[in-house]
């Protein structure tokens, strides 16, 4: 890990920090804060209801890391208290209430994943929970907080405007959440708040509230929402167009090789340190070369220990329809075999962990999603004998498991 | 004082309770609740920032008293907690924050005045303070409360709609107050809430919230806002078109004699028990007879001990330009006299307490608002000698003070 660079000239810091940024409110304020010469407090709000991070999150975490590399302190704010409340009206599926245990477990997993990108030493990483200041707040405190902001400004938020216009109910408490989130910035005395472009409004509330509470207003910096592998929608786990932060190196490499050409510039800018000149050069050349460079850079970043050549070899073998060398193996227990020493193919798929149940395994085969030793399977009931050298099951393009007989 | 009448048939109760009412949401619900046969809990929210009550308030207090006379329990709810918070944005002049001491002092004075109309025995009068349930509420409770109501419904309130349309700021906390007021009904398990027509919206919020909290919805009953002596504006102290609940009997009588003819029906209906037939008869007759009946009925109600004949005599004397018999007297200290034994007329006005300062006294005389022994005064500087029998100053039509020399 490289050392933290301190006292980097302000203009040089600005050049690094502005890369890939969409909104910067305001550059002037950021400059003034950097000129102060003391470390900035850089806030990122984490949603502990969604603990699975992907490259979309990594875009923002990279920016946080850039702040750390320049000696600034990043603050991961876990909304534990708000997560416990969730949406008490029960109308939002995106905000189911969590128990304190769930929230804490999610927070631990969230932070672990963040540390794949962030420096974890306490000088540049602070983790806070908003229950710290929300739990003791009373009615009078909330009235005082709410008095700082006008209804008109809250309703300017795009989704509120649209829902009210469409006659879709907006519950009163939803209006309080942006204020709460803004108050978090007051409590943390944040100098900068980072977020996706969808957080611009909320983070500007924080900026305004800090002024009302007599603090210097935080700089609001937004980064693009990364488009997923489908080339259309924002990367998200539920759309299955994502590359997980904890995906294995070979998986990550293979997925990156499939990024749509139109997104290459975006991915290079947001997920690598390649210079603009180099990116331009790559985009002008053959797309496979560009993809290869992207896949190597991102995989090396998130898996510093990985053997990139092996990952690439494996990708090529699979692309040609071959079977890669290092694949996981599962031994089939003898009690799974029937009197003739055979077992149903669907059962092997389930035992291999390629599908969660026998039913799902049957469906996979019926849908032509499985190969056995490279040949497409058609009948879930096929009786299979497992040879001593094993049998390779392949689900889709890149999921392989070798089944071995019990000895 | 008449006895409480219990077990009055529901239809008879309804007839009394509906008199003068503007909104009744719903009559069916009220009937059902009365049929229950147990005393209803009838809530009235009191604003301890405005402790001076007038006949406008008496309209609602009379209705509360009617409930008491039928054996129901009225609950005076003092918004002590909300008054202490006031309008923390400082933008509303109508909601200055009060200290706990001010709030309590106001509440005591408020309740004393209410008891001029209400029965005070605890079986039918309960006094509560909303700090009881608001003080212990935390952030999570408020989010839960807010989740019960939609933004669209809150914004339907007339003044919010108008202010938002006009671009006049509405602070977020103002949206929380109707919810709070509604929650008071939940905490009190109110069966009925009374208020002026301007409270219809807020009280319907309480009705809706009770349902959300699993209670039977309160009946909302509104009464007209009484028009003041100017015949145009709602009665209010600041417009000086009011008759105070604590005005002296002769003052009250005289003011009632000046109620505009167009308001007589209203005043009779809302402030007396006269039958519809009797009211009709009076309105068809000579207006002075109607005024006299109104003045006697209302004065007798609020000053049961008063000598109505004396009040009427005094009124007549003043109306003829005479000086009434029993008027307050003030002795002028010798140190106020100059070397010649005289004193400036303006100074006497101030000493008599007819104006708060010498400046205001000068202005009164310049504006031809003062008579001395029945003659209009013109010059504030007139040097006056006070004769042994005294000197009568008269401000307007009905304010008299006799000044006496020190002996």
Question: Does the residue A251 lie in any domain?
Answer: yes
Answer yes or no: do B287 and B306 share one domain: yes
Residue A385 lies in domain: 329-405
pLDDT at B152 over 90: no
A154 and A95 within one domain: yes
Average pLDDT over residues B225-245: 91
The CATH number for A357's domain is 3.10.290.10
Burial letters A19-51, b for 16+ CB under 10 A, else e: ebbeebbeeebbeebbeeeebbbbbbbbebbeb
Are A352 and A303 in a shared domain?
no
Among chain B residues, CA nearest to A174: B147
Tell whether the model's pLDDT for residue A110 goes beyond 60: yes
pTM for this one? 0.74
The answer to whether the CB atoms of B147 and A89 lie below 8 A apart is yes
User: What is the tally of structural domains in chain B?
Assistant: 3
Mutate to test the interface with B, among A144, A172, A209, A212 (most CBs of B within 10 A): A172
Span A383-401, pLDDT tens digits: 888 888 888 899 887 788 9
* Contact at CB, B143 and A169, closer than 8 angstroms: no
Q: What pLDDT is recorded for position B397?
A: 77
Residue A94: band (very low, low, confident or very high) from pLDDT cuts 50, 70, 90 = low
Judgement on whether residues B179 and B104 belong to the same structural domain of the protein: yes
Residue B300 domain-assigned (yes or no) = yes
Look up the CATH number of the domain holding residue B267: 1.10.240.10
User: How many CA atoms are closer than 13 Å to the CA of B313, on its beta-carbon side?
Assistant: 8
* pLDDT number for residue B1: 66
Q: Report whether pLDDT(A49) > 80.
A: no
More confident residue, B48 or A22: A22
CB < 8 Å to B144, chain A: 85, 88, 173
Q: Is A150 helix (H, G, I), strand (E, B) or coil?
A: strand
Whether residue B122 sits in one domain with residue B203: yes
Mean pLDDT of chain A: 89
pLDDT, tens only, B119-149? 999 999 999 999 899 989 988 888 888 888 8
Nearest to B138 among A138, A144, A149 (CB): A138
- Contact flag B152-A170 (C-beta cutoff 8 Å): yes
Specify if A164 maps to a domain: yes
Structure tokens at A400: 């392989």
Q: Predicted confidence band at B219 (pLDDT cuts at 50, 70, 90)?
A: very high
Chain A closest-CA separation from residue B180 CA (Å): 10
Residues B87 and B171 grouped into a single domain = yes
pLDDT band at B67 (very low <50, low <70, confident <90, very high): very high
Question: Is residue A341 very low, low, confident or very high in pLDDT (cuts 50, 70, 90)?
Answer: confident
Measured CA to CA in angstroms, residue A398 lies from A316, A368, A380, B332 at distances of: 11, 15, 20, 108
- pLDDT, residue B171, reads 82
Q: How far is B94 from chain A (nearest CA, A)?
A: 15
- Using alpha carbons, list the distances in angstroms from residue B403 to B335, B338, B389, B398, B400: 15, 17, 9, 16, 10
A151, A169, A180: residue with CB nearest B150: A169
Residue in B84, B146, B170 nearest the CB of A152? B170
| Peptide bond connecting A26 to the previous residue in cis, omega within 30 degrees of 0 | yes
Q: What is this model's ipTM?
A: 0.71
Mean per-residue pLDDT, B1-28? 93
- With a CB cutoff of 8 Å and minimum separation 6, the contacts of B208 are B148, B149, B153, B182, B217
Contact A152 B175 (CB under 8 A): no
Same domain for B198 and B52, yes or no, is: yes
* pLDDT of B365 above 70: yes
Look at B144 and A81 and tell me if their CB atoms are within 8 Å. Answer: no
Quick check: is B311 in a domain? yes
Angstroms from A156 CA to nearest CA on chain B: 12
Mean pLDDT within B256-268: 95
Q: Tens digit of pLDDT for each residue in B71-122?
A: 999 999 998 887 777 666 555 555 566 777 788 788 888 899 999 999 999 9
Minimum-distance CB partner of A147 among B136, B154, B173: B173
pLDDT band, very low/low/confident/very high, at A217 (cuts 50, 70, 90): very high
Q: How many CB pairs under 8 A join A and B?
A: 123
Instruction: Tell me what pLDDT residue A147 has.
Output: 85
Binding residues of A for ATP: 237
Handedness of CA B228, B229, B231, B232 (dihedral sign): negative
Are A356 and A208 in a shared domain?
no
Are the Cβ atoms of A146 and B84 closer than 8 angstroms? Answer: no
**Helices and strands (H, E) in chain A, number of each type:** 18, 13
Confidence check: pLDDT of A93 > 70:
no
Confidence of residue A337 (pLDDT cuts 50, 70, 90): confident
Does the structure show a pLDDT above 80 at B366? Answer: yes
Q: How confident is the model at residue A272, as a pLDDT? A: 95
Which residues, at least 6 apart from A141, have a Cβ–Cβ distance to it below 8 Å?
A: none
Q: Which residue of A has its CA nearest to B85?
A: A140
Alpha-carbon distance A192 to A200, whole Å? 12
| Exposure class string for B182-198: b at 16+ Cβ within 10 A, else e | bbbbbebebbbbbbbee
Q: What distance in Å separates residue B126's CA from the closest CA in chain A? A: 24
A163 pLDDT higher than 70: yes
SS3 content of chain A, % helix, strand, coil (to 5): 45, 15, 40
């Amino acid at each position: 890990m490289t050392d933290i660079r301190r006292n980097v000239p302000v203009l040089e810091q600005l050049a690094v920090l502005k890369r890939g940024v969409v909104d910067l409110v305001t550059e002037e304020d950021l400059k003034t804060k950097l000129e102060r010469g003391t470390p900035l407090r850089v806030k990122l709000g984490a949603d502990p209801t969604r603990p699975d991070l992907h490259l979309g999150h990594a875009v923002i975490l990279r920016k946080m890391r850039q702040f750390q590399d320049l000696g600034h302190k990043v603050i991961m704010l876990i909304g534990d208290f708000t997560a416990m409340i969730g949406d008490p009206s029960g109308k939002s599926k995106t905000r189911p209430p969590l128990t304190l245990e769930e929230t804490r477990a999610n927070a631990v997993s969230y932070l672990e994943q963040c540390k794949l990108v962030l420096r974890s030493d306490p000088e540049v990483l602070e983790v806070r929970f908003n229950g710290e200041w929300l739990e003791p707040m009373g009615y009078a405190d909330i009235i005082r907080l709410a008095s700082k902001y006008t209804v008109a400004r809250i309703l300017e938020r795009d989704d509120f405007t649209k829902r009210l216009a469409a006659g879709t109910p907006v519950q009163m408490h939803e209006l309080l959440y942006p204020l709460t989130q803004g108050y978090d910035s007051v409590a943390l005395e944040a100098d900068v708040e980072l977020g996706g472009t969808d957080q611009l409004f909320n983070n500007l509330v924080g900026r305004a509230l800090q002024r009302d509470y007599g603090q210097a207003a935080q700089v609001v910096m937004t980064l693009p929402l990364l488009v997923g592998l489908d080339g259309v929608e924002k990367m998200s786990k539920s759309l299955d167009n994502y590359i997980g932060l904890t995906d294995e190196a070979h998986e990550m490499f293979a997925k990156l090789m499939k990024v749509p050409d139109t997104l290459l510039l975006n991915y290079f800018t947001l997920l690598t340190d390649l210079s603009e000149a180099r990116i331009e050069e790559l985009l002008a050349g053959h797309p496979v070369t560009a993809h290869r460079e992207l896949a190597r850079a991102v995989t090396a970043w998130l898996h510093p220990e990985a053997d990139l050549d092996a990952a690439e070899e494996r990708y090529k073998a699979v692309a040609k329809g071959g079977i890669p060398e290092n694949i996981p193996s599962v031994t089939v227990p003898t009690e799974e075999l029937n009197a003739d020493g055979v077992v149903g193919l669907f059962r092997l798929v389930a035992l291999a962990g390629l599908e969660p149940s026998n039913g799902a395994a049957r469906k996979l085969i019926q849908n032509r999603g499985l190969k056995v030793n490279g040949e497409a399977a058609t009948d879930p009931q096929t009786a299979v004998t497992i040879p001593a050298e094993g049998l390779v099951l392949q689900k889709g393009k890149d999921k392989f498991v070798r089944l071995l007989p019990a000895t």
